[in-house]
């Protein structure tokens, strides 16, 4: 039975287990780092599945009820839940004590482990899989693919930095622009989807913006509807915003038009 | 170019202020404020994430009135638990969606148990509702990405994962619905999720 439990990672991540199985499984994974890691990654994947169903604005009374309810609801203090998993890992190595979920009283709808897993995982969820779909035109030359992969790798490095900030903004009718930046990496990257081509004779130019002004960060490579990934040219150097303007082909030394996007970073 | 240059130098970049709304505080920052009891931040967070939460809950729970109730419970959870979210450890949206899915599944199981649901009927309804959903156009990048990734799974893997996640069925119920052994359902879900994880580039 114990050997079978590790096969339950997928079902557990999807909440497709009974309460009894959940309890047994949680006890099992606390003493099994490999299974724990699989659960973490599959739980993150499961959260992304929420995007596979259309968003839907709830009726206004839901918000009214929620806002009224929170006025009478006490908030819980921060707890040690977050540390549970690392503690459990250490305990597994260091002692023979049976690992236990410590801390807050268990709530039937949100066991401590699920809370901890939810807290532990998902750096980059929502944009983590941006590379998917990128290769829809797979006829590209090897050089182009290599260049793209280099950009993707650089973008991943930015997104993976401990202080990475990621923001997605909708521009115009349907263009999605995701900007990732990291002060530590001193770089920023951009992912655009469904960006219309610049008007004839024009180009999209990227800018690092500080209180002192705008510094050119390269022209945007916009090609078709596939998502395009690009690392901005030059260092972040304390920029507070990233901007995109439409400039004459070849670019300008300073912005000459109002930005179509201005993202705080 | 000279005048443009001056404009930027004297700057205060005139367009900085009007476009400020393009850069709303990230969800993580809002949750930090919510943890301090900031009701305005909570309202803002609600507006930002409620459509995604309600879309998921409605898909799983199906009944509109119950979906609204569950959505209220979820946001009350977010309010109560906000201090326990650790931004260094992950994304706010994912944290919220994990809470939401668990709540939705708990509700659908509780209500299904009470009316002793017929699984055969369940899968028929489920498939019909899936067809409806598939017809609607989903425009977000995340939605396209997830659906494209799902399409790369085998048909049986997709079906098992969709039944489990969107249908709220246990893997035993999935096995029963698909008329396969429980062990097969378990590994099919796991194999599919691993493939999905790799397709979505989840580290």
Model confidence over A9-68: pLDDT tens digits? Answer: 999 999 999 988 888 888 887 777 788 888 888 988 999 999 988 899 999 999 999 999
Question: In chain A, what residues touch B142 (CB-CB under 8 Å)?
Answer: 48, 51, 126-127
**Nearest one of A19, A18, A108, A41 to B174, comparing CA atoms:** A18
Residue A139 above 80 pLDDT? no
pLDDT at A105: 38
Residue B155: predicted pLDDT:
94
- Residue A235 token pair: 């260092």
Record: contact A254-B71, CB cut-off 8 A:
no
CATH of domain B13-116: 1.10.1740.10
**Could you tell me which CATH number the domain at B118-203 has?**
1.10.10.10
Q: Do A54 and B86 touch (CB under 8 A)?
A: no
Task: Judge whether residue A82 has pLDDT over 70.
Answer: no
B40 in reach of chain A (CB within 8 A) = no
The lowest-confidence range among A1-15, A126-140, A160-174 is A126-140
How much is the average pLDDT of B174-194?
Answer: 96
Strands of the A228-231 sheet, one edge to the other: A165-171, A175-182, A187-193, A228-231
The whole-number pLDDT of residue A61 equals 96
- Asked if this assembly's ipTM is beyond 0.85, the reply is no
Tens of pLDDT along A178-214? 888 888 888 898 888 777 778 788 888 898 887 777 8
- Give the separation between CA B77 and CA A196, rounded to whole angstroms: 41
A240 touches chain B (CB under 8 A): no
- Per domain, the residue ranges of chain A are 2-120, 142-264
Among A27-41, A53-67, A143-157, B158-172, which is the least confidently predicted range? A143-157
Q: What is the pLDDT of residue B47?
A: 95
d(CA B107, CA A247): 54
Provide the shortest C-alpha distance from residue A187 to chain B (in Å): 19
Query: Which residues lie closer than 8 Å to A34 by C-beta, 6 or more apart?
Result: A6
Domain coordinates of chain B in residue numbers?
Answer: 13-116, 118-203
What's the pLDDT at A88? 33
User: Which of A68-82, A169-183, B27-41 reaches the highest mean pLDDT?
Assistant: B27-41
* Inter-chain CB pairs, A–B, below 8 Å: 310
């Amino acid at each position: 039975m114990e050997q079978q439990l590790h096969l339950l990672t997928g079902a557990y991540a999807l909440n497709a287990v009974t309460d009894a199985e959940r309890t047994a499984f949680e006890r099992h994974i606390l003493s099994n780092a490999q299974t724990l890691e699989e659960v973490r990654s599959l739980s993150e994947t499961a959260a992304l599945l929420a995007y596979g169903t259309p968003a839907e604005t709830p009726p206004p009374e839901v918000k009214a009820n929620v806002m009224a309810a929170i006025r009478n609801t006490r908030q819980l203090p921060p707890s040690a839940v977050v540390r549970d998993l690392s503690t459990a890992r250490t305990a597994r190595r260091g002692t023979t004590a049976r690992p236990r979920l410590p801390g807050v009283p268990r709530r039937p709808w949100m066991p401590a482990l699920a809370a901890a897993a939810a807290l532990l995982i998902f750096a980059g969820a929502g944009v983590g899989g941006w590379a998917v779909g990128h290769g829809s035109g797979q006829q590209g030359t090897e050089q182009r693919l290599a260049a793209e992969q280099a950009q993707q790798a650089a973008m991943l490095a930015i997104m993976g930095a401990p202080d990475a900030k990621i923001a997605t903004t909708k521009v115009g009718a349907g263009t999605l622009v995701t900007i990732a930046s990291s002060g530590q990496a001193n770089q920023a990257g951009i992912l655009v989807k469904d960006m219309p081509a610049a008007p004839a004779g024009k180009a999209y130019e990227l800018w690092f913006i500080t209180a002192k002004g705008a510094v050119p960060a390269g022209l945007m490579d916009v090609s078709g509807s596939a998502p395009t990934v690009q690392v901005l040219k030059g260092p972040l150097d304390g920029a507070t915003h990233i901007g995109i303007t439409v400039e004459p082909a070849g670019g300008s030394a300073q912005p000459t038009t109002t930005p179509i996007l201005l993202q705080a970073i | 170019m000279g005048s443009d240059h001056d404009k930027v130098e004297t700057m205060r970049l005139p367009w900085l202020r009007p476009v400020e709304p393009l850069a709303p505080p990230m969800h993580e920052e809002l949750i930090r404020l919510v943890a301090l009891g900031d009701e305005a931040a909570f309202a803002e967070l609600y507006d930002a994430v409620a459509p995604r939460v309600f879309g998921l809950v409605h898909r799983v729970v199906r009944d509109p009135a119950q979906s609204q109730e569950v959505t209220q419970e979820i946001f009350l959870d977010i309010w109560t638990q906000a201090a326990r979210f650790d931004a260094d450890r992950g994304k706010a949206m994912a944290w919220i969606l994990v809470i939401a899915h668990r709540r939705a599944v708990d509700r659908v199981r509780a209500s299904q148990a009470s009316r002793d649901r017929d699984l055969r009927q369940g899968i028929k309804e489920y498939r019909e509702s899936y067809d409806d959903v598939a017809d609607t156009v989903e425009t977000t990048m995340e939605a396209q990405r997830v659906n494209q990734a799902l399409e790369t799974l085998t048909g049986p893997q997709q079906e098992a994962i969709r039944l489990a996640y969107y249908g709220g069925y246990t893997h035993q119920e999935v096995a029963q619905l698909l008329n396969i052994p429980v062990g097969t359902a378990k590994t099919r879900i796991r194999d599919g999720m691993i493939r999905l994880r790799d397709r979505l580039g989840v580290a």
